[in-house]
Amino acid sequence: MENISLSRLMKWLMTAGLTLAVIAALLAMILSSLIDPNDYKSDIENAAQQKGIKLSIEGDLALKVFPKLGVAVTNINFSDGQNIAGHIPELNINLGWLALVSGNLSLTNLPIDSISLAKATLQYSTATPLPLQFDQIELTLNDLSFNGNDFNINLSAQVLKGLPLSFSSTAQVNIQDQKVSRVAVRNFTFVADEITLKGSVDADLTRQEIRGSVASSSINLQKQISTIQKHLPIFTPPSMSSNKALSNVSFKSEFNINPWGYSQYSHKLVLDGQTFDIDLSADQSTNQMSIYLKGKSLKLVDYLPSSAQSTNDGTQAPAAIFAPLAVPFMLWGGESNVELAINNIQLESFSVTNFYGKASGYRNQLRLSSLTADIFGGHINAVASIDLSGSTPSFRLVPSAYDIDLSQALLAMSNSHDFTGYFNMDATIEGSGANIYEIQKSLLGNGQFTVVTPSYRGVNIEETICQATALFGNRGSSPQTWSEGTQLNDITGNLGFINGKMLLTDMTTGTGNLKLSGQSEVQLVEQNYILNATAVLAGATSSNNGCRVNKRLQNQVIPFVCKGSFGANNNSGQSGCTPDQNVIGGLLKNSLLEQLGEKYLTAPDTRAPINGDSIQDALKGFFKKKLGDS
């Protein structure tokens, strides 16, 4: 009995299915005989034209009845006449039978069940030199609705001639009074090659408010940039000191946007394990934007150009030094304010701590109202203005430095430990250029500086003077041991910049009874220096515990010349500082003449001059003439 019932059911289903197929075929024949959709091509193209879209249907429109009622369109070209143009080889629109049968059709209750297109292309070009072309576009919209119900979006494409893209999401669209009032995209996933973004966006157009969040996966940005370069050769990836730089980048953003009012953005950026919080607010009504970035640490040395690149291509490294500073100001048409606060910035051989900067700008004019940081045991401050309106950026900088430990600074920057002390400086500097080398050559400025408790390890100047005194026949005693280097009195002087040189002038200092003065010239690009100094002994001894000084050396000017290099040109880490040999030679000659005169032209006991002998008188006159006596 059961087998008979099952057999009858199967026969009934087969009969019903065959009946429906026959009815659908008959309906398709009837619709095809009554309606030719190609008759509506011009109407569709004219309707698009009224909306500002140039539409050309070069293929056929074909009706489909089973399993769903719909229309298939082939070979469609479209353009907005400005930036967008594209081609769709095949477009399918499927309608829902139930919606058609109900007869309750409206803009919010469309009978559309799904839309799909395949192998489409889209070109987007603007005033920028980088137009975008999307190929192999595959799009499917299922359960399309404009009454707030969920429908699904699946999209895939290729960009830059082979780079894959995909997007999938659940969406909602509301239409009220024939206007879109709300668009929501929930739980979307966007994939571009190896970059994955996930999030949700909800736009309430009646309240002019867009809320949402976006989070990325871990991105090897260095690798991704190299991949883009293969598809876009004009794009050049940055060369950085570390091959691990930009290898692990991710972010999470939350935003509340009012396109015509106040907007807020909150970002958390993780850069190779370093976390930064970035808060941004923008007010369209006042045309003002503010950015605040804070972080605990930044290993900046990893992101600077490699030393090999800097050496081989010195005119370009680092190129466009002001470009990163200008980005937030130039992208925003109004006034911008940026604050940076980073606890520790690590460079190659030293760190900057407690860094804080505050800048503002309007288009091409930037103003640094505050920059403070702790470095080399001291503190630096600066204010500046930068003009980016011309072909070459220019700037005016007013820096100051306090209690900079020169032993730390020189060891870090030039591997030299000859000079110690605490440096203080105030200056005003102007310059222009696109990279650091152009800027160094253009610098003009002046200021004052002091070095507190300085010492020079390269030579003990008092020992040098006493050794010279011994050569000159000094009869006094001198210390048997000398300390390493020279402990100097505080150094004061003026600071200047011109033609790629830093000039240190009117420098004065001393040690013991030795008074020192001089000037130094530092070649910033060549990274070398020369110091011309003079020493004057203002007493009978070199110091309270020093050696006795020959009277001929007292108040005598003795020149010193110090030379050295720093930075990439510093090989040994040592500098040279020696007295002027010509002056020393002259003093030595005169001293020997004096000693000969005392020996041969004076009495051995009384040292009184010997009279009478014509030869002796002649020698005496000779020595007096040589010694400048009358």
Q: How far apart are CA 24 and CA 16, in angstroms?
A: 12
* Angle 176-182-187 from CA coordinates, rounded to 5°: 145
At which residue do the structure tokens 């026949």 appear? 473
Q: How far apart are CA 80 and CA 411, in angstroms?
A: 63
Let me know: does 257 contact 263? Beta carbons within 8 Å: yes
Helix 614-627 and helix 581-600, axial crossing angle in degrees, nearest 10: 160
Let me know: does 547 contact 534? Beta carbons within 8 Å: no
pLDDT for 316 equals 44
pLDDT for 312 equals 45
pLDDT digits (tens, 9 = 90+) for 556-601: 887 878 887 766 655 554 556 666 666 666 665 555 555 545 544 4
Long-range pairs of 177-182 with CB within 8 A, sequence gap ≥ 24: 178/107, 179/205, 180/146, 180/205, 181/205, 181/206, 182/148, 182/206
Mean pLDDT of 525-553: 82
User: What three-state secondary structure class fits 396?
Assistant: strand
- Across 6-52, the runs of DSSP E, i.e. the strands, are none
Give Cβ neighbours of residue 583 (< 8 Å, ≥ 6 apart).
Answer: 557, 558, 559
- In this structure, of 75-79, 163-167, 572-576, the range with the lowest mean pLDDT score is 572-576
pLDDT digits (tens, 9 = 90+) for 119-136: 999 998 876 556 788 999
| Residue 472, CA distances (Å) to 380, 396, 469, 554 in order | 48, 53, 5, 12
Taking the alpha carbons of 527, 410, 340, 395 in that order, is the dihedral positive or negative? negative
Residue type, 240: M
pLDDT for 538 equals 85
Better pLDDT: 426 or 511:
426
Identify the burial level of 324 via C-beta atoms within 10 angstroms of its C-beta, where 0-12 means exposed, 13-18 middle and 19 or more buried.
exposed
Q: How far apart are CA 520 and CA 41, in angstroms?
A: 85
Element holding 172 (H helix, E strand): strand 163-176
pLDDT band at 457 (very low <50, low <70, confident <90, very high): confident
CA dihedral 67, 73, 74, 80 (to 10 degrees): -140
Taking the alpha carbons of 34, 39, 44, 46 in that order, is the dihedral positive or negative? negative
Secondary structure of 209-264 as H, E, C letters: EEEEEEEECCECHHHHHHHHHHHCCCCCCCCCCCCCCCCCEEEEEEEEECCCCEEE
Q: 541 pLDDT exceeds 70?
A: yes
pLDDT digits (tens, 9 = 90+) for 433-452: 877 788 888 999 999 999 99
Q: How far apart are CA 354 and CA 340, in angstroms?
A: 10
pLDDT for 453 equals 94
Q: What are phi and psi of 310, to 5 degrees?
A: -65, -35
| Residue 116, CA distances (Å) to 70, 71, 76, 112, 154 in order | 11, 11, 14, 11, 9
* pTM for this entry: 0.76
Residue type, 479: P
Mean pLDDT of 519-546: 85
Give Cβ neighbours of residue 220 (< 8 Å, ≥ 6 apart).
Answer: 194, 246, 247, 248, 249
- In this structure, of 383-397, 412-426, 605-619, the range with the lowest mean pLDDT score is 605-619
* pLDDT above 90: percentage of residues in the chain: 36
pLDDT for 40 equals 75
- The chain-wide mean pLDDT, for the chain, equals 80
pLDDT for 342 equals 96
Q: Which two tokens stand for residue 286?
A: 């006042």
pLDDT for 330 equals 62
| Residue 551, CA distances (Å) to 555, 591, 620, 630 in order | 9, 10, 20, 18
pLDDT for 625 equals 47
pLDDT for 130 equals 67
pLDDT band at 17 (very low <50, low <70, confident <90, very high): very low
Mean pLDDT of 387-405: 91
pLDDT for 2 equals 46
Q: How far apart are CA 282 and CA 68, in angstroms?
A: 49
Q: Which two tokens stand for residue 475?
A: 């009869």
Identify the burial level of 305 via C-beta atoms within 10 angstroms of its C-beta, where 0-12 means exposed, 13-18 middle and 19 or more buried.
middle
Q: How far apart are CA 34 and CA 85, in angstroms?
A: 35
**CB atoms < 10 A from the CB of 452, how many?**
14
Element holding 426 (H helix, E strand): strand 419-432
pLDDT band at 307 (very low <50, low <70, confident <90, very high): low
Mean pLDDT of 347-375: 92
pLDDT for 272 equals 95
Q: How far apart are CA 210 and CA 205, in angstroms?
A: 8
pLDDT digits (tens, 9 = 90+) for 176-223: 877 889 999 999 999 999 999 999 999 998 888 999 999 999 999 988
Q: How far apart are CA 119 and CA 137, in angstroms?
A: 5
Closest Cα partner for 166 from 186, 137, 200?
137
